[in-house]
A and B are shown apart, each in its own frame.
Chain A
Amino acid sequence: MVSREAAFLYNNLVLVAIAFSVLWGTLFPILSEWVRGSKITVGPPFFNTVNVPLGLLLLGLTGVGPLIAWRKASTSNLRRQFAFPVTFGLAMGALLIVLGMRNFYALVAYTLAAFVAGTISQEFYKGIRARHTMHDESIPVAAIRLVARNRRRYGGYIVHAGIVILFCGFAGLAFKKDHDVQMKAGEVKELVDPLGHRWRFVSQGVSTSETLNRFVTAIGLEVWRDGVRQGIMTTEKRQYFDSNKQPQFEPSTEVGIRTSAKMDLYIVLAGVRDETAELRISFNPLVVWVWIGGMVMAVGGLIVMWPQAERRRSGGYVATLAPAPRAELVAAP
């Protein structure tokens, strides 16, 4: 029951459960209408309620799998393997509580992410140390050769690292903060982001223009963070038109985006009324890490898939097994 093979099975089971919950949520309005006769909506809050716990379970299993031995794990082996990652995860959780984090799911996500990161670090540390000791390789060379000689295993760990980064990015959205503001030309708005930085937005006024195939209504904002000028950010509404200057579809919005490792800032022009721009200003912590996590996963996947070079020199040991003699099945005493 407690083996790496079993952990893989449980992992796949959770993935299937997540896929099923999406299918179930998609079909549930139809089912509900059939049973109760009234229409309901199943939107993001439903999927967050159901899938966040499943996702966290998956994250936890990502860290558990590599720590368990193949076939059967002994208690002493489990204790030895889990000691560092569990301690690291719990320490991270405690630190975040002390720092004031109170969002339950985010707290669990970061604790589990630290646990998985501890697992991955431990596996790399053991492998690199073994190569360093046995082959007298420098640490960077040992690290590169470790991955190159065991692509499936260590490429898999790199995929796990990508998943950890991805979940850290997802959990950051728990602290997302939206502000709905109206600004005339020259008006100033001061806002505080979830990390406590003070932002200052100065409206440069609304402008309208016509280009080759669209009318544009835009606003520029001079942006300051903690008293340091960050530059001008613009956001605009575009109304595309055809050759007869007839509008095509509804207006589309170009969002002003400022990306940093800590946080993305989005400015959305909702519209203009009486020369007053209506804007949504969103602070989205750690969004860029969702992209980085995806890229790390892709790199890990490529390492896993990359075929091993065929060995040119001969003479190495090749295991050849003779057919096993048929065992006579006799009832155990």
Chain B
Amino acid sequence: MRRRDFLTQVALSGGALLGARELLAQQAAAPAEPAPAQGTTSNLFDMDQMAAKRVTKPPKRDAAPSMTADERDNLEHQLRCQCSCTLDVYTCRTTDFSCQVSPAMHQDVMALVEGGYSAHEIIEAFVGTYGERVLMAPKREGFNWAGYIVPFAALGAGTVAVVAVLRGMQRRTALVAATTRRPSAAGPLASDEELTKLRAALRRDD
């Protein structure tokens, strides 16, 4: 592409972007449609404020808190808020104060921690109540292993395929080189002087 064409295209693209931005700004300034009923939706998704279910267990005998606040926060990073926000419980309750689901789930986590339950036991209790969808990532068991392994298996298969193709190309190149070097073949493809010029031209183009 010539430099003038390139610069023209860059200028046109920039102009189009600015125009699109102006259009979006005008749309944003236009009167919004009436809002749905408060408390059932957010700006981005349908919010289900009634999605919280109680996850309770009786405290263990002589129960003491089973983890520190940091460990509890890490545990809440593994549990998904059920208000449809797609965030984990910790992030949702510390970001979106309008959500009533993540604070309720947080209260249940706190009660179980106070009751002496371990992280594994708390996660199992939540899975027992909500199902596996309460976890931010699928458990590493059974069919779920496919989720974790398939991308790496695909990469391995792709590597094998690429190596096979390269080997085939290498064999064909070697065969052609061997045959063209034979005295009975059509002779050299270029003179020494031409090859020198070609190499110099390639060096400049690198």
Contact = CB atoms under 8 A, between A and B. Distances in A.
Interface of A: 1, 6, 9-10, 13-14, 16-17, 20-21, 24-25, 28, 32, 35-36, 38-46, 49-50, 53-54, 150, 153, 178, 180, 237, 242, 246-253, 268-271, 278, 280, 305-310, 317-319, 321, 324-332
Nearest to A253: B95
A325 B155 contact: no
Contact of B137 (A45, A269, A278): A45
A45 B189 contact: no
Contacts of A9: 162, 166
Contacts of A50: 148, 151-152
Which A-B residue pairs are the 3 nearest by beta carbons? A271-B97, A21-B151, A43-B136
Given A1-B167, A271-B97, 4 more contacts: A16-B158, A32-B144, A307-B6, A330-B182
Contacts of A253: 95-96
Interface in B21-59: 32, 34-35, 38, 41-43, 47
A307 to B, nearest CB: 4
Contacts of A40: 132-133, 135, 138, 144
Q: What does DSSP make chain B's interface, helix, strand, loop or mixed?
A: helix
B80 A43 contact: yes
A268 B151 contact: no
A32 B179 contact: no
Given A39-B131, A41-B133, A317-B201, A278 B143 contact: no
Contacts of B200: 317
Contact of B143 (A1, A32, A319, A331): A32
A302 B28 CA distance: 32
A43 B155 CA distance: 22
Interface residues of B, number: 71
A318 B200 CA distance: 10
Nearest to A17: B155
Given A35-B143, A327-B185, A328-B184, A247 B35 contact: yes
25 contacts: A13-B159, A16-B158, A17-B158, A35-B143, A38-B131, A38-B132, A38-B133, A39-B131, A41-B132, A41-B135, A46-B147, A46-B148, A180-B69, A242-B34, A250-B41, A250-B96, A250-B98, A252-B43, A269-B97, A317-B201, A319-B197, A319-B201, A321-B190, A325-B186, A328-B184
A253 B152 CA distance: 39
Contacts of B42: 249-250
A330 B95 contact: no
B86 interface: yes
Contacts of A269: 97
Given A268-B94, A324-B189, A327-B185, A249 B176 contact: no
A248 B32 contact: yes
Nearest to A18: B151
B94 A39 contact: no
Nearest to A53: B152
A35 B144 CA distance: 10
A328 B185 CA distance: 6
Interface string B152-172: 101100110011001100100
B120 interface: no
Nearest to A48: B137
A242 B31 CA distance: 9
Contacts of A249: 35, 41-43
Contacts of B167: 1
B132 A39 contact: yes
Nearest to A44: B136
Nearest to B176: A327
A237 B179 contact: no
A330 B6 contact: no
A309 B3 contact: yes
Contacts of A16: 158
Contact of A24 (B5, B80, B95, B151): B151
Given A24-B151, A246-B35, A249-B42, A178 B94 contact: yes
A41 B162 contact: no
Nearest to B156: A17
B162 A310 contact: no
A270 B1 contact: no
A125 B80 CA distance: 50
A251 B98 contact: yes
Contacts of A305: 6
A189 to B, nearest CB: 14
Interface in B168-206: 170, 175-176, 178-180, 182, 184-187, 189-190, 194, 197-198, 200-201, 206
